[in-house]
Structures are given as structure tokens and as C-alpha cells.
């Protein structure tokens, strides 16, 4: 399977704990995106990487959130001191970026986080 993969698929944690999610994009894709989706809503943009550089962060990404893409391949999203409001589906997408044209984003299956 050469699609975008995310691990784990489900995570249940207690409030106050730290969690880390991983995203493996399609291998030749240089752009990677994180989105968050709450129940009954559409996905909301969190952050974006071009290769290893994090180029934009949404104001939704509080200080408790950090994302990395150390070698321009896989990415991790860490949430520290989780709160019940962090419960959501976290989606990763990747694309092959050419600056002058649209680049379709391919989405992974998501990681569903439940904070008790």
C-alpha cells in the first residue's frame, strides 16, 4: 500500500497525559499537512511542512501542540498535557508540491484521539 499511513489509528488517554501521532506520507511527496476534525465538522487546518520546514501554523495549534518532520519524510504530532477538548480525529495529508500549480492532497485514515 503506497498511500498515506497514520499510527496509531486509535488512542485513548487520560487528561494530562502526552500523546504522539505519526504520519508517513507518500514517498515522493514533499508537502505534508495536519488537520483536525471534530464530530460533525469538516477538517480544520493545523500546520504544513515543505520538506522539513514547518511553513505555517494555525492559531488552533496551541503551545501544547508541536509537529516535526525531521528528515522531510515522516512527521510526528505531539500533544502535551492533553485536555478533553483535544478529542478529535487527527488527519495527515501529503502532496507533491509544484509552486505554480494545484497539488492534490492525499489523506491518511486518521488517528482518533479520545481524552478521558
Candidate list 8, 18, 98, 114; residue touching another protein; CB under 8 A? 98
Binding of another protein by 24 (CB under 8 A): no
| CB distance 64 to 40 below 8 Å | no
Nearer to another protein, 13 or 103 (CB): 103
Tell me the pairing of strands 111-115 and 10-13.
parallel
| CB distance 13 to 82 below 8 Å | yes
Candidate list 94, 95, 111, 115; residue touching another protein; CB under 8 A? 95
Candidate list 26, 45, 54, 66; residue touching another protein; CB under 8 A? 45
**Per-residue binding letters, 47-86, with another protein (x by CB under 8 A):** -x-x----xx------------------------------
CA-to-CA distance for 90 and 9, rounded, in angstroms? Answer: 10
Binding of another protein by 39 (CB under 8 A): no
Binding of another protein by 113 (CB under 8 A): no
End-to-end CA distance of the chain: 33
C-alpha cell at 95: 502532496
CA of residue 20 relative to chain centroid, distance: 10
C-alpha cell at 61: 495549534
Tell me which residues touch another protein (CB under 8 A).
Answer: 31, 33, 35, 40-45, 48, 50, 55-56, 91, 93, 95, 97-110
Amino acid at each position: 500500500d503506497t498511500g498515506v499511513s497514520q499510527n496509531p489509528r486509535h488512542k485513548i488517554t487520560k487528561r494530562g497525559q502526552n500523546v504522539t501521532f505519526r504520519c508517513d506520507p507518500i514517498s515522493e511527496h514533499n508537502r505534508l499537512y495536519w488537520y483536525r476534525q471534530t464530530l460533525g465538522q469538516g477538517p480544520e487546518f493545523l500546520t504544513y511542512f515543505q520538506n522539513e520546514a514547518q511553513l505555517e501554523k494555525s492559531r488552533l495549534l496551541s503551545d501544547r501542540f508541536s509537529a516535526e518532520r525531521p528528515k522531510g519524510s515522516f512527521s510526528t504530532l505531539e500533544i502535551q498535557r492533553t485536555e478533553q477538548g483535544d478529542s478529535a480525529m487527527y488527519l495527515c495529508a501529503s502532496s507533491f508540491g509544484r509552486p505554480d500549480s494545484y497539488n492534490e492532497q492525499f489523506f491518511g485514515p486518521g488517528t482518533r484521539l479520545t481524552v478521558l
